[in-house]
Protein backbone atom coordinates (compact mmCIF):
# COMPACT_ATOMS: atom_id res chain seq x y z
CA UNK A 1 0.00 0.00 0.00
CA UNK A 2 1.36 3.45 -0.91
CA UNK A 3 1.98 5.88 1.89
CA UNK A 4 -0.99 8.08 2.71
CA UNK A 5 -0.91 11.70 1.80
CA UNK A 6 -0.38 14.14 4.70
CA UNK A 7 -1.14 17.82 4.95
CA UNK A 8 1.71 20.32 5.16
CA UNK A 9 0.15 22.02 8.14
CA UNK A 10 0.31 20.77 11.68
CA UNK A 11 -2.62 20.98 14.07
CA UNK A 12 -2.81 22.55 17.50
CA UNK A 13 -4.95 20.80 20.09
CA UNK A 14 -5.14 22.39 23.56
CA UNK A 15 -1.83 24.23 22.98
CA UNK A 16 -0.02 21.09 21.85
CA UNK A 17 1.33 20.32 18.41
CA UNK A 18 -0.53 17.38 16.89
CA UNK A 19 0.56 15.26 13.96
CA UNK A 20 -0.76 16.56 10.66
CA UNK A 21 -4.00 15.01 9.32
CA UNK A 22 -3.50 12.27 6.80
CA UNK A 23 -5.52 12.36 3.57
CA UNK A 24 -6.22 8.84 2.41
CA UNK A 25 -8.24 10.24 -0.48
CA UNK A 26 -7.43 13.47 -2.23
CA UNK A 27 -11.05 14.54 -1.64
CA UNK A 28 -14.46 13.16 -0.93
CA UNK A 29 -15.48 12.46 -4.54
CA UNK A 30 -16.12 9.37 -6.67
CA UNK A 31 -13.16 10.22 -8.83
CA UNK A 32 -10.89 10.10 -5.77
CA UNK A 33 -12.19 6.60 -4.96
CA UNK A 34 -11.77 5.50 -8.61
CA UNK A 35 -8.21 6.78 -8.58
CA UNK A 36 -7.55 4.85 -5.38
CA UNK A 37 -8.81 1.67 -7.04
CA UNK A 38 -6.89 2.19 -10.26
CA UNK A 39 -3.70 2.75 -8.31
CA UNK A 40 -4.10 -0.81 -7.06
CA UNK A 41 -4.57 0.18 -3.42
CA UNK A 42 -7.92 -1.62 -3.07
CA UNK A 43 -7.42 -5.36 -3.06
CA UNK A 44 -9.90 -6.40 -0.33
CA UNK A 45 -13.10 -4.46 -0.97
CA UNK A 46 -16.10 -4.94 1.28
CA UNK A 47 -19.51 -3.82 0.02
CA UNK A 48 -22.26 -3.07 2.52
CA UNK A 49 -25.73 -2.70 1.01
CA UNK A 50 -29.27 -1.91 2.03
CA UNK A 51 -32.74 -1.65 0.50
CA UNK A 52 -31.69 1.31 -1.66
CA UNK A 53 -29.95 -0.93 -4.17
CA UNK A 54 -33.22 -2.77 -4.89
CA UNK A 55 -35.54 0.19 -5.43
CA UNK A 56 -34.70 0.22 -9.15
CA UNK A 57 -35.96 -3.36 -9.25
CA UNK A 58 -39.35 -2.20 -7.99
CA UNK A 59 -38.86 -3.12 -4.34
CA UNK A 60 -39.61 -0.31 -1.93
CA UNK A 61 -37.03 0.68 0.63
CA UNK A 62 -38.08 1.00 4.24
CA UNK A 63 -37.63 4.56 5.39
CA UNK A 64 -37.85 6.94 2.43
CA UNK A 65 -40.46 9.56 3.44
CA UNK A 66 -43.70 9.12 1.53
CA UNK A 67 -42.50 6.17 -0.59
CA UNK A 68 -40.82 3.86 1.90
CA UNK A 69 -42.25 0.52 2.91
CA UNK A 70 -42.87 1.63 6.47
CA UNK A 71 -45.12 4.45 5.23
CA UNK A 72 -47.14 1.87 3.32
CA UNK A 73 -47.90 -0.40 6.28
CA UNK A 74 -50.95 1.43 7.61
CA UNK A 75 -53.21 -1.15 5.96
CA UNK A 76 -51.79 -3.79 8.31
CA UNK A 77 -52.98 -1.96 11.44
CA UNK A 78 -49.59 -2.17 13.14
CA UNK A 79 -48.88 -0.49 16.48
CA UNK A 80 -45.69 0.86 14.85
CA UNK A 81 -44.17 0.16 11.40
CA UNK A 82 -41.22 -1.91 12.60
CA UNK A 83 -43.66 -4.29 14.38
CA UNK A 84 -44.00 -6.23 11.13
CA UNK A 85 -40.43 -7.44 11.72
CA UNK A 86 -40.68 -7.71 15.53
CA UNK A 87 -40.46 -11.30 16.75
CA UNK A 88 -42.72 -10.71 19.78
CA UNK A 89 -45.42 -9.15 17.62
CA UNK A 90 -44.99 -11.88 15.04
CA UNK A 91 -45.63 -14.63 17.59
CA UNK A 92 -48.92 -12.97 18.56
CA UNK A 93 -49.95 -11.87 15.08
CA UNK A 94 -48.02 -13.39 12.15
CA UNK A 95 -50.55 -12.32 9.51
CA UNK A 96 -49.08 -8.85 8.68
CA UNK A 97 -45.63 -10.29 7.99
CA UNK A 98 -46.92 -12.98 5.66
CA UNK A 99 -49.06 -10.46 3.81
CA UNK A 100 -45.97 -8.27 3.37
CA UNK A 101 -43.80 -11.27 2.51
CA UNK A 102 -46.02 -11.91 -0.50
CA UNK A 103 -44.90 -8.53 -1.89
CA UNK A 104 -41.22 -9.12 -1.07
CA UNK A 105 -41.07 -12.74 -2.16
CA UNK A 106 -38.06 -13.48 -4.41
CA UNK A 107 -38.82 -14.42 -7.99
CA UNK A 108 -40.84 -11.34 -8.79
CA UNK A 109 -37.86 -9.03 -9.27
CA UNK A 110 -34.57 -8.93 -11.16
CA UNK A 111 -31.18 -7.69 -9.96
CA UNK A 112 -30.40 -4.07 -10.72
CA UNK A 113 -27.36 -2.54 -12.38
CA UNK A 114 -25.92 -1.98 -8.90
CA UNK A 115 -26.23 -5.63 -7.97
CA UNK A 116 -23.91 -6.62 -10.82
CA UNK A 117 -21.08 -4.55 -9.32
CA UNK A 118 -20.60 -7.42 -6.87
CA UNK A 119 -19.84 -10.23 -9.37
CA UNK A 120 -17.76 -7.74 -11.38
CA UNK A 121 -15.54 -7.03 -8.38
CA UNK A 122 -15.41 -10.76 -7.65
CA UNK A 123 -14.35 -11.48 -11.23
CA UNK A 124 -11.52 -8.99 -10.85
CA UNK A 125 -10.45 -10.58 -7.57
CA UNK A 126 -11.18 -7.42 -5.59
CA UNK A 127 -14.23 -8.45 -3.53
CA UNK A 128 -13.49 -9.70 -0.04
CA UNK A 129 -17.14 -10.00 0.99
CA UNK A 130 -20.57 -8.53 0.39
CA UNK A 131 -22.61 -7.78 3.53
CA UNK A 132 -26.27 -7.03 2.89
CA UNK A 133 -29.28 -6.15 4.97
CA UNK A 134 -31.59 -7.21 2.17
CA UNK A 135 -33.74 -10.30 2.31
CA UNK A 136 -34.73 -10.26 -1.38
CA UNK A 137 -31.88 -12.59 -2.48
CA UNK A 138 -31.13 -10.47 -5.58
CA UNK A 139 -27.40 -10.73 -4.89
CA UNK A 140 -27.70 -14.48 -5.35
CA UNK A 141 -29.42 -14.05 -8.70
CA UNK A 142 -26.41 -12.23 -10.14
CA UNK A 143 -24.42 -15.46 -9.84
CA UNK A 144 -22.38 -14.25 -6.89
CA UNK A 145 -20.68 -17.09 -5.04
CA UNK A 146 -22.50 -17.82 -1.75
CA UNK A 147 -19.15 -17.81 0.04
CA UNK A 148 -18.70 -14.13 -0.84
CA UNK A 149 -22.15 -13.21 0.49
CA UNK A 150 -23.25 -12.53 4.06
CA UNK A 151 -26.99 -11.95 4.45
CA UNK A 152 -26.84 -10.18 7.79
CA UNK A 153 -30.61 -10.19 8.28
CA UNK A 154 -31.20 -13.60 6.75
CA UNK A 155 -33.31 -14.26 3.66
CA UNK A 156 -36.07 -16.32 2.11
CA UNK A 157 -33.47 -18.92 1.08
CA UNK A 158 -34.31 -21.13 4.06
CA UNK A 159 -37.16 -21.44 6.56
CA UNK A 160 -37.32 -22.62 10.13
CA UNK A 161 -39.81 -23.33 12.92
CA UNK A 162 -39.45 -20.70 15.64
CA UNK A 163 -40.39 -23.29 18.27
CA UNK A 164 -38.47 -26.49 17.54
CA UNK A 165 -36.02 -24.87 15.05
CA UNK A 166 -36.53 -27.61 12.47
CA UNK A 167 -35.50 -26.38 9.03
CA UNK A 168 -38.35 -26.74 6.56
CA UNK A 169 -38.71 -26.76 2.78
CA UNK A 170 -38.66 -23.18 1.51
CA UNK A 171 -40.78 -24.13 -1.51
CA UNK A 172 -43.47 -25.35 0.86
CA UNK A 173 -43.33 -22.04 2.78
CA UNK A 174 -43.36 -20.13 -0.52
CA UNK A 175 -46.58 -21.85 -1.55
CA UNK A 176 -48.16 -20.84 1.75
CA UNK A 177 -47.06 -17.23 1.26
CA UNK A 178 -48.44 -17.14 -2.29
CA UNK A 179 -51.74 -18.52 -0.99
CA UNK A 180 -51.76 -15.87 1.79
CA UNK A 181 -51.83 -18.63 4.40
CA UNK A 182 -49.70 -19.09 7.50
CA UNK A 183 -47.36 -22.13 7.59
CA UNK A 184 -47.22 -24.21 10.75
CA UNK A 185 -44.61 -26.81 11.63
CA UNK A 186 -45.64 -30.36 10.80
CA UNK A 187 -43.47 -31.61 13.67
CA UNK A 188 -44.55 -29.47 16.62
CA UNK A 189 -47.24 -27.14 15.28
CA UNK A 190 -45.16 -24.00 15.84
CA UNK A 191 -45.02 -21.03 13.50
CA UNK A 192 -42.69 -21.40 10.52
CA UNK A 193 -41.05 -18.34 9.02
CA UNK A 194 -38.26 -17.67 6.54
CA UNK A 195 -34.89 -17.36 8.26
CA UNK A 196 -35.12 -13.58 8.26
CA UNK A 197 -33.65 -11.89 11.30
CA UNK A 198 -36.39 -10.04 13.17
CA UNK A 199 -35.99 -7.37 15.79
CA UNK A 200 -35.38 -9.26 19.02
CA UNK A 201 -33.45 -12.08 17.34
CA UNK A 202 -29.73 -12.67 17.09
CA UNK A 203 -28.04 -12.17 13.75
CA UNK A 204 -26.75 -15.30 12.01
CA UNK A 205 -23.62 -16.73 13.64
CA UNK A 206 -21.83 -16.54 10.30
CA UNK A 207 -22.29 -12.79 10.26
CA UNK A 208 -20.48 -12.29 13.55
CA UNK A 209 -17.74 -14.77 12.77
CA UNK A 210 -16.82 -13.35 9.36
CA UNK A 211 -17.26 -9.72 10.30
CA UNK A 212 -14.70 -10.13 13.05
CA UNK A 213 -12.00 -11.11 10.58
CA UNK A 214 -13.08 -9.41 7.33
CA UNK A 215 -13.21 -5.79 8.45
CA UNK A 216 -9.68 -5.96 9.74
CA UNK A 217 -8.52 -6.89 6.25
CA UNK A 218 -10.69 -4.37 4.39
CA UNK A 219 -8.83 -1.72 2.38
CA UNK A 220 -11.88 -0.07 0.75
CA UNK A 221 -15.42 0.03 2.14
CA UNK A 222 -18.29 0.81 -0.24
CA UNK A 223 -21.68 1.44 1.38
CA UNK A 224 -24.69 1.37 -0.96
CA UNK A 225 -28.31 2.36 -0.41
CA UNK A 226 -28.71 2.25 3.36
CA UNK A 227 -29.64 4.76 6.03
CA UNK A 228 -27.40 2.99 8.56
CA UNK A 229 -30.01 3.09 11.30
CA UNK A 230 -30.22 -0.59 12.20
CA UNK A 231 -27.76 -2.05 14.68
CA UNK A 232 -25.44 -3.86 14.73
CA UNK A 233 -25.17 -3.70 10.94
CA UNK A 234 -24.60 0.06 10.93
CA UNK A 235 -21.67 -0.32 13.33
CA UNK A 236 -19.69 -2.26 10.75
CA UNK A 237 -18.46 0.98 9.18
CA UNK A 238 -16.53 1.67 12.37
CA UNK A 239 -14.67 -1.67 12.29
CA UNK A 240 -12.38 -0.93 9.40
CA UNK A 241 -8.90 0.42 10.12
CA UNK A 242 -8.44 4.19 10.46
CA UNK A 243 -6.65 4.41 7.12
CA UNK A 244 -9.29 2.48 5.16
CA UNK A 245 -11.17 4.81 2.77
CA UNK A 246 -15.00 4.69 2.89
CA UNK A 247 -17.53 5.55 0.17
CA UNK A 248 -21.27 6.10 0.62
CA UNK A 249 -23.60 6.04 -2.40
CA UNK A 250 -27.06 6.95 -1.19
CA UNK A 251 -29.85 9.46 -1.70
CA UNK A 252 -28.88 11.24 1.50
CA UNK A 253 -26.01 11.33 3.92
CA UNK A 254 -26.04 8.72 6.66
CA UNK A 255 -23.90 7.29 9.45
CA UNK A 256 -22.50 10.64 10.57
CA UNK A 257 -23.85 10.69 14.11
CA UNK A 258 -22.27 7.55 15.52
CA UNK A 259 -18.81 7.56 17.03
CA UNK A 260 -16.30 6.59 14.39
CA UNK A 261 -18.93 7.07 11.68
CA UNK A 262 -18.71 9.03 8.44
CA UNK A 263 -17.31 12.57 8.50
CA UNK A 264 -18.18 14.13 5.16
CA UNK A 265 -18.16 17.72 6.39
CA UNK A 266 -15.03 17.49 8.52
CA UNK A 267 -17.15 17.79 11.63
CA UNK A 268 -15.20 15.34 13.75
CA UNK A 269 -11.73 16.33 12.53
CA UNK A 270 -10.49 12.76 12.40
CA UNK A 271 -6.73 12.33 12.02
CA UNK A 272 -7.39 10.76 8.61
CA UNK A 273 -9.50 12.21 5.83
CA UNK A 274 -10.95 9.16 4.08
CA UNK A 275 -14.72 9.50 3.51
CA UNK A 276 -16.36 10.12 0.14
CA UNK A 277 -20.05 10.45 -0.79
CA UNK A 278 -22.26 10.37 -3.87
CA UNK A 279 -25.81 11.60 -3.30
CA UNK A 280 -28.29 10.10 -5.72
CA UNK A 281 -29.62 6.79 -6.96
CA UNK A 282 -27.39 3.78 -6.47
CA UNK A 283 -27.48 2.82 -10.15
CA UNK A 284 -26.28 6.29 -11.15
CA UNK A 285 -23.49 6.30 -8.59
CA UNK A 286 -22.28 2.80 -9.47
CA UNK A 287 -22.38 3.56 -13.18
CA UNK A 288 -20.30 6.67 -12.64
CA UNK A 289 -17.79 4.79 -10.49
CA UNK A 290 -17.52 2.01 -13.09
CA UNK A 291 -17.01 4.59 -15.81
CA UNK A 292 -14.25 6.29 -13.85
CA UNK A 293 -12.59 2.93 -13.26
CA UNK A 294 -12.93 1.95 -16.93
CA UNK A 295 -15.41 -0.85 -16.19
CA UNK A 296 -18.66 0.62 -17.55
CA UNK A 297 -18.83 -1.49 -20.71
CA UNK A 298 -18.00 -4.67 -18.84
CA UNK A 299 -20.55 -3.96 -16.14
CA UNK A 300 -23.20 -3.10 -18.72
CA UNK A 301 -22.54 -6.37 -20.55
CA UNK A 302 -22.87 -8.35 -17.32
CA UNK A 303 -26.12 -6.57 -16.53
CA UNK A 304 -27.59 -7.28 -19.95
CA UNK A 305 -26.43 -10.89 -19.98
CA UNK A 306 -27.86 -11.34 -16.52
CA UNK A 307 -31.22 -9.98 -17.66
CA UNK A 308 -31.27 -12.32 -20.61
CA UNK A 309 -30.55 -15.26 -18.33
CA UNK A 310 -33.23 -14.06 -15.93
CA UNK A 311 -35.71 -13.72 -18.76
CA UNK A 312 -34.96 -17.24 -19.96
CA UNK A 313 -35.21 -18.53 -16.40
CA UNK A 314 -38.50 -16.72 -15.91
CA UNK A 315 -39.86 -18.14 -19.16
CA UNK A 316 -38.74 -21.62 -18.17
CA UNK A 317 -40.33 -21.17 -14.78
CA UNK A 318 -43.48 -19.87 -16.45
CA UNK A 319 -43.55 -22.95 -18.67
CA UNK A 320 -42.93 -25.15 -15.67
CA UNK A 321 -45.69 -23.43 -13.75
CA UNK A 322 -47.96 -23.72 -16.76
CA UNK A 323 -47.16 -27.43 -16.96
CA UNK A 324 -47.81 -27.79 -13.25
CA UNK A 325 -51.02 -25.85 -13.62
CA UNK A 326 -52.06 -27.99 -16.57
CA UNK A 327 -51.25 -31.10 -14.60
CA UNK A 328 -53.12 -29.73 -11.61
CA UNK A 329 -56.10 -28.95 -13.83
CA UNK A 330 -55.92 -32.44 -15.33
CA UNK A 331 -55.74 -33.95 -11.85
CA UNK A 332 -58.63 -31.76 -10.75
CA UNK A 333 -60.65 -32.75 -13.81
CA UNK A 334 -59.87 -36.41 -13.21
CA UNK A 335 -60.84 -36.02 -9.58
CA UNK A 336 -64.02 -34.26 -10.63
CA UNK A 337 -64.74 -37.02 -13.15
CA UNK A 338 -64.13 -39.67 -10.51
CA UNK A 339 -66.34 -37.74 -8.11
CA UNK A 340 -69.08 -37.56 -10.75
CA UNK A 341 -68.74 -41.26 -11.53
CA UNK A 342 -68.79 -42.03 -7.83
CA UNK A 343 -71.85 -39.83 -7.43
CA UNK A 344 -73.53 -41.53 -10.41
CA UNK A 345 -72.63 -44.95 -9.04
CA UNK A 346 -73.94 -43.95 -5.66
CA UNK A 347 -77.11 -42.57 -7.24
CA UNK A 348 -77.48 -45.79 -9.23
CA UNK A 349 -77.03 -47.84 -6.09
CA UNK A 350 -79.55 -45.66 -4.29
CA UNK A 351 -81.92 -46.03 -7.24
CA UNK A 352 -81.48 -49.80 -7.21
CA UNK A 353 -81.93 -49.80 -3.48
CA UNK A 354 -85.06 -47.72 -3.89
CA UNK A 355 -86.30 -50.02 -6.64
CA UNK A 356 -85.69 -53.02 -4.40
CA UNK A 357 -87.62 -51.31 -1.65
CA UNK A 358 -90.47 -50.55 -4.01
CA UNK A 359 -90.40 -54.10 -5.34
CA UNK A 360 -90.42 -55.39 -1.79
CA UNK A 361 -93.36 -53.16 -1.01
CA UNK A 362 -95.18 -54.40 -4.12
CA UNK A 363 -94.44 -57.98 -3.15
CA UNK A 364 -95.72 -57.27 0.34
CA UNK A 365 -98.83 -55.66 -1.10
CA UNK A 366 -99.34 -58.53 -3.53
CA UNK A 367 -98.81 -61.00 -0.70
CA UNK A 368 -101.40 -59.18 1.35
CA UNK A 369 -103.81 -59.13 -1.59
CA UNK A 370 -103.31 -62.86 -2.18
CA UNK A 371 -103.73 -63.55 1.51
CA UNK A 372 -106.91 -61.51 1.50
CA UNK A 373 -108.20 -63.38 -1.53
CA UNK A 374 -107.40 -66.68 0.15
CA UNK A 375 -109.11 -65.48 3.27
CA UNK A 376 -112.19 -64.51 1.27
CA UNK A 377 -112.14 -67.87 -0.49
CA UNK A 378 -111.80 -69.74 2.78
CA UNK A 379 -114.41 -67.62 4.58
CA UNK A 380 -117.50 -69.55 3.30
CA UNK A 381 -115.92 -72.79 4.47
CA UNK A 382 -115.30 -71.27 7.87
CA UNK A 383 -118.86 -69.97 7.99
CA UNK A 384 -120.44 -73.25 6.77
CA UNK A 385 -120.67 -74.82 10.26
CA UNK A 386 -122.29 -71.60 11.44
CA UNK A 387 -124.72 -71.70 8.51
CA UNK A 388 -125.49 -75.35 9.22
CA UNK A 389 -126.03 -74.36 12.81
CA UNK A 390 -128.38 -71.63 11.69
CA UNK A 391 -130.12 -73.97 9.32
CA UNK A 392 -130.46 -76.44 12.19
CA UNK A 393 -131.97 -73.76 14.34
CA UNK A 394 -134.34 -72.83 11.52
CA UNK A 395 -135.26 -76.49 11.07
CA UNK A 396 -135.72 -76.89 14.80
CA UNK A 397 -137.93 -73.86 14.70
CA UNK A 398 -139.99 -75.40 11.98
CA UNK A 399 -140.19 -78.58 13.99
CA UNK A 400 -141.63 -76.64 16.87
CA UNK A 401 -144.52 -75.60 14.66
CA UNK A 402 -147.93 -77.30 15.28
CA UNK A 403 -148.20 -80.82 13.95
CA UNK A 404 -151.51 -80.01 12.24
CA UNK A 405 -149.84 -77.17 10.33
CA UNK A 406 -146.85 -79.34 9.49
CA UNK A 407 -148.82 -82.41 8.25
CA UNK A 408 -151.74 -80.68 6.50
CA UNK A 409 -151.37 -80.86 2.74
CA UNK A 410 -152.41 -78.08 0.47
CA UNK A 411 -155.91 -77.88 -0.94
CA UNK A 412 -154.68 -78.67 -4.44
CA UNK A 413 -152.87 -81.74 -3.20
CA UNK A 414 -155.97 -83.02 -1.42
CA UNK A 415 -158.17 -82.46 -4.41
CA UNK A 416 -155.62 -84.15 -6.67
CA UNK A 417 -155.42 -87.16 -4.32
CA UNK A 418 -159.17 -87.51 -4.06
CA UNK A 419 -159.55 -87.19 -7.77
CA UNK A 420 -157.04 -89.94 -8.37
CA UNK A 421 -158.79 -92.19 -5.85
CA UNK A 422 -162.15 -91.63 -7.41
CA UNK A 423 -160.82 -92.35 -10.86
CA UNK A 424 -159.09 -95.48 -9.66
CA UNK A 425 -162.18 -96.93 -8.03
CA UNK A 426 -163.87 -99.72 -9.99
CA UNK A 427 -167.54 -99.28 -9.48
CA UNK A 428 -168.36 -102.75 -11.03
CA UNK A 429 -165.95 -104.77 -8.90
CA UNK A 430 -167.90 -107.40 -7.11
CA UNK A 431 -165.10 -108.70 -5.06
CA UNK A 432 -164.81 -105.72 -2.91
CA UNK A 433 -166.20 -106.15 0.62
CA UNK A 434 -167.88 -102.88 0.36
CA UNK A 435 -169.69 -101.30 -2.47
CA UNK A 436 -168.55 -98.51 -4.72
CA UNK A 437 -171.08 -96.27 -3.18
CA UNK A 438 -169.56 -96.90 0.18
CA UNK A 439 -166.07 -96.05 -1.17
CA UNK A 440 -167.26 -92.85 -2.66
CA UNK A 441 -168.96 -92.01 0.59
CA UNK A 442 -165.80 -92.72 2.52
CA UNK A 443 -163.66 -90.59 0.23
CA UNK A 444 -166.19 -87.82 0.38
CA UNK A 445 -166.23 -87.98 4.13
CA UNK A 446 -162.44 -88.01 4.26
CA UNK A 447 -162.30 -85.00 1.97
CA UNK A 448 -164.61 -83.05 4.16
CA UNK A 449 -162.49 -83.86 7.18
CA UNK A 450 -159.30 -82.86 5.40
CA UNK A 451 -160.72 -79.63 4.08
CA UNK A 452 -162.11 -78.81 7.47
CA UNK A 453 -158.68 -79.45 8.99
CA UNK A 454 -156.94 -77.20 6.48
CA UNK A 455 -159.33 -74.42 7.11
CA UNK A 456 -158.97 -74.76 10.85
CA UNK A 457 -155.22 -74.83 10.55
CA UNK A 458 -155.04 -71.65 8.49
CA UNK A 459 -157.34 -69.84 10.84
CA UNK A 460 -155.42 -70.90 13.94
CA UNK A 461 -153.31 -68.07 15.55
CA UNK A 462 -149.52 -68.15 15.06
CA UNK A 463 -147.18 -68.34 18.04
CA UNK A 464 -145.67 -65.03 19.25
CA UNK A 465 -142.18 -64.01 17.90
CA UNK A 466 -139.48 -63.75 20.59
CB 288 within 8 Å of CB 299 = no
* Edge-first strand listing for the sheet containing 246-250: 149-151, 127-132, 45-49, 220-224, 246-250, 275-279
Binding residues: 161, 164, 185, 188
Instruction: Give the whole-number percent of the chain exceeding pLDDT 70.
Output: 74
The domain locations on the chain are 22-317, 403-459
Give the β-pairing of 246-250 and 275-279.
Answer: parallel
What is the spatial distance between Cα 405 and Cα 288, in angstroms, rounded to a whole number?
A: 156
Q: What's the Cα-to-Cα distance from 435 to each of 142, 443, 448, rounded to whole Å?
A: 169, 13, 20
Chain centroid to CA 167: how far? 22
Q: Tell me if residue 106 falls in helix, strand or coil.
A: coil
Q: Count other C-beta atoms under 10 Å from residue 264's C-beta.
A: 17
Q: Is the pLDDT score of 432 beyond 50?
A: no
CB 172 within 8 Å of CB 192 = no
Q: For the segment 276-314, what is each residue's pLDDT rounded down to a tens digit? A: 999 999 999 999 999 999 999 999 999 999 999 888 888
What is the spatial distance between Cα 322 and Cα 315, in angstroms, rounded to a whole number?
A: 10
Average pLDDT score over residue span 242-251: 96
Residue 371 pLDDT: 80
Q: Is the pLDDT score of 454 beyond 70?
A: no
> DSSP strand E in 7-140: where?
11-13, 16-18, 22-23, 45-49, 127-132
Q: Is the pLDDT score of 349 beyond 90?
A: no
Q: Is the pLDDT score of 466 beyond 50?
A: no
Q: What's the Cα-to-Cα distance from 17 to each of 7, 11, 23, 448, rounded to whole Å?
A: 14, 6, 18, 196
Residue 218 pLDDT: 98
Closest CA to 235 of 252, 265, 215, 253: 215
Q: Which residue has the higher pLDDT, 425 or 154?
A: 154
DSSP assignment letter at 14: T
Q: What's the Cα-to-Cα distance from 329 to each of 177, 267, 321, 334, 336, rounded to whole Å?
A: 21, 66, 12, 8, 10
Average pLDDT score over residue span 318-334: 84
**Which strand (E) or helix (H) includes residue 30?**
helix 30-38
The answer to which of 10-14, 124-128, 305-309, 392-396 has the lowest mean pLDDT is 10-14
Q: What is the pTM assigned to this prediction?
A: 0.67
Task: Indicate left, alpha or beta for 245 from its phi (over 0: left) and psi (-120 to 50: alpha).
Answer: beta
Average pLDDT score over residue span 102-122: 92
Residue 295 pLDDT: 97
Residue 3 pLDDT: 46
**DSSP state letters, 258-304:** STT---TTSSS--SEE-EEEEES-HHHHHHHHHHHHT-HHHHHHHHH
Q: Is the pLDDT score of 438 beyond 80?
A: no
The answer to which of 273-282, 310-319, 408-417 has the lowest mean pLDDT is 408-417
What is the spatial distance between Cα 108 and Cα 85, in angstroms, rounded to a whole number?
A: 21
Q: Is the pLDDT score of 442 beyond 70?
A: no
CB 47 within 8 Å of CB 224 = yes
Q: What's the Cα-to-Cα distance from 351 to each of 340, 354, 360, 414, 439, rounded to whole Å?
A: 16, 5, 14, 83, 98
**Cα–Cα–Cα angle for 156, 132, 181, nearest 5°?**
20
**Which strand (E) or helix (H) includes residue 310?**
helix 296-399
Average pLDDT of the chain is: 82
What is the spatial distance between Cα 404 and Cα 457, in angstroms, rounded to a whole number?
A: 7
The answer to which of 112-126, 289-303, 340-354, 439-453 has the lowest mean pLDDT is 439-453
Residue 107 pLDDT: 78
Confidence category of residue 415, pLDDT binned at 50, 70, 90: low
**First and final CA of the chain: distance in angstroms?**
155
CB 131 within 8 Å of CB 46 = yes
Q: Tell me if residue 65 falls in helix, strand or coil.
A: coil
Catalytically active residues, by annotation? 153
Q: Name which CATH class applies to 22-317.
A: alpha beta
Q: Is the pLDDT score of 9 beyond 70?
A: no
Average pLDDT score over residue span 51-66: 81
Residue 324 pLDDT: 80
Q: What's the Cα-to-Cα distance from 202 to each of 38, 84, 157, 197, 205, rounded to whole Å?
A: 39, 17, 18, 7, 8
Among the ranges 34-38, 60-64, 264-268, 310-314, which has the highest mean pLDDT value? 34-38
Q: In angstroms, what is the C-alpha Rg of the chain?
A: 62
Q: Is the pLDDT score of 23 beyond 50?
A: yes
Q: For the segment 179-221, what is each residue's pLDDT rounded down to a tens digit? A: 888 999 989 999 999 999 999 999 999 999 999 999 999 999 9
Confidence category of residue 48, pLDDT binned at 50, 70, 90: very high
Binding residues for Zn(2+): 161, 164, 185, 188
**DSSP state letters, 151-204:** ETTEEEEEEEETTT--EE-HHHHHHHHHTT---B-TTT--BEEEEEPPBTSPPP
Confidence category of residue 422, pLDDT binned at 50, 70, 90: low
Amino acid sequence: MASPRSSAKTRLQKGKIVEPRVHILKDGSLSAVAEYIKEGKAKNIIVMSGAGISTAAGIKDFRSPGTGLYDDLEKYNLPYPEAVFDISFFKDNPSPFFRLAKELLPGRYRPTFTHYLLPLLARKGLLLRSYTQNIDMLERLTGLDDELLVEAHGSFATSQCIKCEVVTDSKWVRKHILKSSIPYCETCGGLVKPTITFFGEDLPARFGRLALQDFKKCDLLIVLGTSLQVEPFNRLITRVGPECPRLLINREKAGEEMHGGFDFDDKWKYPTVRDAVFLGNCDDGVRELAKLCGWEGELQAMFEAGNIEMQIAEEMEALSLAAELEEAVAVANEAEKEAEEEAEEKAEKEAKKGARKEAKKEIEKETKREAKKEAVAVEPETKRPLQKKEEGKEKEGRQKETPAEKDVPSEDDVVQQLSERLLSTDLNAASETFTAADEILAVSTESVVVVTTIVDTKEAPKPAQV
